[in-house]
Structure 1
């Protein structure tokens, strides 16, 4: 897919349901890109928040986006193992050299032993009211939380034992 060739560099842009830009990761290297799936990697990349604050990621991360599922998965390589941060979000779109998605607040944090916590339920409920999420959207998001938890329990996709390590090794071939 144009712009998603392995080795190309793209941005990741997260929005809120009301269209407001939420967060931007400045540079991510594409490792695999198709119309349905993007696997990327970054390390010490600049992140800009909606209020203008910036910070730099601390560790290498493998990012997984899918055009069918309402979540994305970030596997972070830390000294004590792989930690995952999963955003419940719209499926991604790719335009203007950026992966774009709507962040729906609910997050799942997964630890190296594959235990997990569902986060930000209060923030989700607040934004659901403030931004008038339709009932059908709430159902879709809840169903995709269940899909994601199934993936975690089954060690499917990015949660499979070698996924992050193998893609990280591939990422290293693009670093100078």
Structure 2
């Protein structure tokens, strides 16, 4: 049986500058992935009270446990926030992930989708996307991929497709806790 491995998540902006760094995450071993997630070669990471460094260097500690899902080739990623009132999904429209060693990177393209515990969904930060699109001169290919990523993400949410299944996120987190929850696993 494989063990959980430490992983850092680094989010960049299109201009190459750091956007945000999640410093303590744990990679779910392949043998613990749900078959559906394994079939898509998902990278699943867990964190709880992780230090998060912002672009200005300020660091804060997350308050809510999270299970993050990264799918190769997809222009979005999904963070399941395990809140007291239920699981809220915070989804980033972003470049496909790149995992090398213990570091996962992606480019954040501002557009976000929030899926609430009651099933509502909201697209947010469209103004920020348009502002950065102009400031960073996104090529048409990037703009097209961002739009396609948003559409694919909304379709998954609307159809209740993986990873938008509360039981999966809860199971990953509970299994991680049983195995030491961030201690030397």
Place the TM-score, normalised by the shorter chain, in its bin: over 0.9
Say which structure is richer in strand.
1
Alignment partner, residue 159 of structure 1: 164
Deviation digits for residues 68-113 of structure 1, max 9, x if unmatched?
1000000011110001100000001012421000000000011001
Query: 1:75 matched to which residue of 2?
Result: 80
The list of structure 1 runs, each at least 4 consecutive aligned residues, that deviate by more than 3 angstroms after superposition, is 32-36
Q: Partner of 1:162: helix, strand, or coil?
A: helix
Q: In 2 relative to 1, CA 132–27 (structure 1 residues): closer, same or farther, beyond 3 Å? A: same
> What are the equivalent positions in structure 2 for 1:1-176 lying under 5 Å apart?
6-32=3-29, 36-172=41-177, 173-175=179-181, 176=183
> Which whole-Å CA distance do the structure 2 matches of 1:36 and 1:131 have between them?
31
- Which sits farther off after the overlay, 97-106 or 154-163? 154-163
TM-score of the superposition, structure 2-length normalised?
0.88
CA distance in structure 1 between the aligned counterparts of 2:155 and 2:80, rounded to whole angstroms: 17
Q: Deviations over 1:45-88 (max 9, x none)?
A: 00000101111100110000111100000001111000110000
Give the deviation of 1:6 after TM superposition: 4.2
Q: Is the 8 A contact 1:6 1:29 kept in 2?
A: no
- SS of alignment partner, residue 163 of structure 2: helix
Against the structure 1 CA distance between its residues 49 and 168, is the aligned structure 2 distance closer, same or farther, given a 3 Å change threshold? same
Q: Secondary structure at the match of 1:159?
A: coil
Query: How many pairs does the alignment contain?
Result: 172
Conserved 8 A contact 2:43-2:70 = yes
For structure 1, which runs of at least 5 residues remain unmatched after alignment? none
